[in-house]
C-alpha cells in the first residue's frame, strides 16, 4: 500500500542529494518503493550531496517521506550523528526518556473531561524530570495522560477546571528562556498547546509514534495515519482493542502468544517475536494478504517467547495459502520480479 505517488517525490531535493540526474532517479527500485510507502529506507550512499555553493560531500543516510503541514510530500534525511540528536517535536523530558530505547507514543491532539492535572516526574517515573500533565476521560471511561510543559500555561489561559470537557491540540513550539541544571539561563524550545471547549463535530485524536534509531543516533517518528489497518495476523483476527493498541504503537499479543508492535525505525515498521508474519489488511473493500519476513525482533524476549518463535496458529496455514495466491497473481503481472519469486519460494517451504 502506497502513501505517495512517484511524481510526489521532491525531485529538487533528490538532485541536491545526488540521487536524481535531471532525467531519472539514481536509486534502486527497492529504495523508491520504500519511500512511496512512507517507510524508512536502508542506508543509501550519496557521493554528491550539495551542502553549499561549490561544495559537495559524501554521506551515508537513511531516507523517508512524510506529509508536510500544507499536504505536500517532504523528503527527510536521517544521517549518522556522533551524539544523540533530539527530536524537535519532543520536549526535553521526552527526548531523554525515549532515547533509552523502545517504542513510544505521544498524543498531539485529544479530548475528554479533565480529571486531574499537575506536575510530577514525566510518565510518573521517578528518574525522569518534572513535567506537567492533564488527565482526560472519554465518555467510554478511557483515561489518558497528556504531557507537556506548555500545557500548564495553556490551561491557565483557558480558564478550564476539573470536570470541564475540552479539546487539546499541540500547535507548535516557541523559544523561551529557562534555567538549566547549573542555574544558568539558556534558550530552549517549548511545545505550545491550545485548549478549547469540546465540540463533538470537531473532535480530534492524533498520536505520533517515536523510536530511537541506534544506527543513526536520532529519532524516527511515524504518525498513526501511516500505520496500516491490520485485520488479521497469521490468520488470527484482531479485536477492536488490539487494533487500537497497534495503531498507537503499543505491543499487541495474539491468542497464540505472537507479539507484534509498530516500529518507526524498522524498514517494515514492524517488530515481532516471530521470524515471519502474514498480515491481512483491509483494502478496497476486501482483505489483502501481505508477507513480512526478516523482521526486527522485539527486545528482551523471555525464554518462553523464544521457544514459541516457530510455533504458529491453526489459521496460519490458511493464511499461507491466501498469501501464496496473491503473490502468484503479482508474479503473473511482473514475471521478472525476483523478489516475488523469492517470496513464493519461502511460502512454499
SS3 category, 218 = strand
d(CA 204, CA 208): 13
* Overall average pLDDT of the 16-37 stretch: 89
Q: Which residues pair with 294 in a beta bridge?
A: none
pLDDT reported for residue 187: 62
pLDDT reported for residue 214: 87
Q: Say what the pTM is.
A: 0.73
pLDDT reported for residue 178: 60
Residue 215, pLDDT > 80, answer: yes
Largest alpha-carbon pair distance within the chain? 68
SS3 category, 205 = coil
pLDDT band at residue 136, thresholds of 50, 70 and 90? very high
For residue range 159-183, what is the model confidence (pLDDT) as tens digits?
999 999 999 999 877 766 665 656 6
Q: For the stretch 78-114, what's the b/e string if a residue is b when 16 or more beta carbons lie within 10 angstroms of its beta carbon? A: beeeeeebbbebbbbbbbbbbbeebbbbbbbbbbbbb
More confident residue, 208 or 52: 208
More confident residue, 38 or 200: 200
For residue range 230-274, what is the model confidence (pLDDT) as tens digits?
888 888 899 999 998 898 888 999 888 888 999 988 877 888 887
* Overall average pLDDT of the 307-321 stretch: 66
Cβ(64)–Cβ(31) below 8 Å = no
pLDDT reported for residue 287: 73
Among 26-35, 137-146, 275-284, 328-337, the range scoring the smallest mean pLDDT is 275-284
What is the pLDDT of the chain when averaged over all its residues? 83
pLDDT band at residue 80, thresholds of 50, 70 and 90? confident
DSSP character string of 220-231: EEEEGGGS--EE
Cβ(290)–Cβ(279) below 8 Å = yes
More confident residue, 22 or 135: 135
pLDDT reported for residue 294: 58
Cβ(74)–Cβ(65) below 8 Å = yes
d(CA 243, CA 131): 30
SS3 category, 241 = helix
Cβ(76)–Cβ(123) below 8 Å = no
Amino acid at each position: 500500500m502506497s502513501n505517495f505517488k512517484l511524481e510526489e517525490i521532491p525531485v529538487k531535493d533528490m538532485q541536491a542529494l545526488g540521487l536524481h540526474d535531471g532525467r531519472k532517479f539514481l536509486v534502486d527500485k527497492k529504495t523508491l518503493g520504500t519511500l512511496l510507502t512512507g517507510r524508512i529506507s536502508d542506508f543509501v550512499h550519496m557521493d554528491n550531496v550539495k551542502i553549499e555553493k561549490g561544495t559537495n560531500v559524501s554521506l551515508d543516510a537513511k531516507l523517508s517521506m512524510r506529509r508536510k503541514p500544507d499536504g505536500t510530500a517532504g523528503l527527510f534525511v536521517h544521517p549518522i550523528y556522533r551524539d544523540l540528536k533530539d527530536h524537535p517535536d519532543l520536549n526535553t523530558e521526552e527526548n531523554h526518556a525515549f532515547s533509552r530505547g523502545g517504542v513510544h507514543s505521544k498524543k498531539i491532539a485529544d479530548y475528554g473531561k479533565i480529571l486531574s492535572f499537575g506536575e510530577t516526574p514525566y510518565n510518573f517515573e521517578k528518574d525522569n524530570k518534572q513535567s506537567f500533565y492533564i488527565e482526560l476521560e472519554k465518555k467510554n471511561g478511557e483515561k489518558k495522560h497528556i504531557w507537556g510543559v506548555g500545557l500548564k500555561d495553556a490551561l491557565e489561559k483557558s480558564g478550564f477546571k476539573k470536570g470541564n470537557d475540552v479539546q487539546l491540540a499541540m500547535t507548535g513550539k516557541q523559544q523561551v528562556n529557562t534555567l538549566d541544571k547549573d542555574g544558568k539561563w539558556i534558550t530552549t524550545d517549548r511545545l505550545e498547546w491550545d485548549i478549547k471547549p469540546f465540540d463533538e463535530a470537531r473532535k480530534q485524536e492524533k498520536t505520533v509514534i517515536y523510536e530511537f534509531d541506534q544506527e543513526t543516533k536520532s529519532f524516527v517518528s511515524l504518525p498513526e495515519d501511516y500505520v496500516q489497518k491490520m485485520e488479521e495476523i497469521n490468520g488470527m483476527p484482531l479485536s477492536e482493542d488490539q487494533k487500537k493498541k497497534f495503531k498507537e504503537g503499543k505491543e499487541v499479543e495474539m491468542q497464540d502468544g505472537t507479539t507484534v508492535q509498530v516500529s518507526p525505525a524498522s524498514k517494515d515498521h514492524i517488530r515481532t517475536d516471530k521470524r515471519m508474519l502474514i498480515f491481512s489488511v483491509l483494502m478496497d473493500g476486501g482483505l489483502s494478504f501481505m508477507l513480512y519476513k526478516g523482521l526486527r525482533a522485539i527486545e528482551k524476549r523471555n525464554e518462553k517467547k523464544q521457544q514459541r518463535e516457530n510455533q504458529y496458529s491453526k489459521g496460519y496455514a490458511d493464511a499461507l495459502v491466501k498469501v501464496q495466491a496473491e503473490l502468484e497473481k503479482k508474479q503473473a503481472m511482473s514475471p521478472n520480479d525476483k523478489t516475488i519469486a523469492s517470496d513464493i519460494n519461502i511460502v512454499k517451504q
